[in-house]
Amino acid sequence: MDPSWATALAPVEPDIRKMGDFLRSQIESGHRVLPASKNIFRAFDQPLDSVKVLIVGQDPYPTPGNPIGLAFSVAPDAGIPASLNNIFKELGTDLGLPYPLDGDLTPWTRQGVMLLNRCLSVEAGRPASHRNKGWEPITDQAVRALDARIGKDGKPLPLVAILWGRQAQSLAPLLPHAAIIASPHPSPLSASRGFFGSRPFSRTNEALEKMGASPVDWRLPSKEDLPPVSDDPQF
């Protein structure tokens, strides 16, 4: 966790300690907790003031080997989950970008995109198993801290919040200074009801530019970036 986030989350330090106790008790009871402990707070690796886009997820993927501590993102060697597949389809439709090589969204975080799940852990094989266990006050504080940042000019720092689905959109009251890009969730159960065609990536960049911030380069590594394969065999 970046030191700036440690300061921002200081008001909920007791809650963080309680969640640490909860996770240890789960592991001691034989439950497998995801993601790996080193990745639970990975969404907070980038400095607080570097964040200009917030994307909110629900909880980590419950499949071992998939979650890496970033909402919607998976390990490079994992398959592409259905929701992420739909996100990539919309990315292509919206910006004309090629389909990515894998589901690792780490490059976005280096562009100032925070990929924050409402719950930062889950029991393997049991989706939503750690909801209402104590993560929500912690991630609520993170959202408040993002919205409360003030620049040297005395104005709120630029922030766009991409809120997919009702759970994410429930955070809107905590984001009075942010531009909100809202739509149905990219899950196959709801993507056809307004996620497809919502253009979240181009709309986010338009909003950032209106705020005087640089746009996000949403491109992820794709097959187009691989070196060409020579037809001339090497002996």
Give the residue numbers annotated as catalytic, written as ranges: 59
Tell me which amino acid residue 83 is: S
For the chain, the straight-line distance linking the first and the last C-alpha, in angstroms and rounded, comes to: 49
Measure Cα distances from 231 to 119, 226, 227 in Å. 49, 15, 13
How far apart CA 148 and CA 157 sit, in angstroms, is: 8
* Neighbouring residues of 152: CB distance < 8 A, sequence distance ≥ 6: none
- For the chain, give the number of residues: 235
Tokens of 209: 């530019």
Measure Cα distances from 59 to 5, 122, 127, 189, 209 in Å. 20, 7, 8, 17, 30
* 163 CA to centre of own chain: 10
CB 140 within 8 A of CB 119: no
How far apart CA 220 and CA 171 sit, in angstroms, is: 28
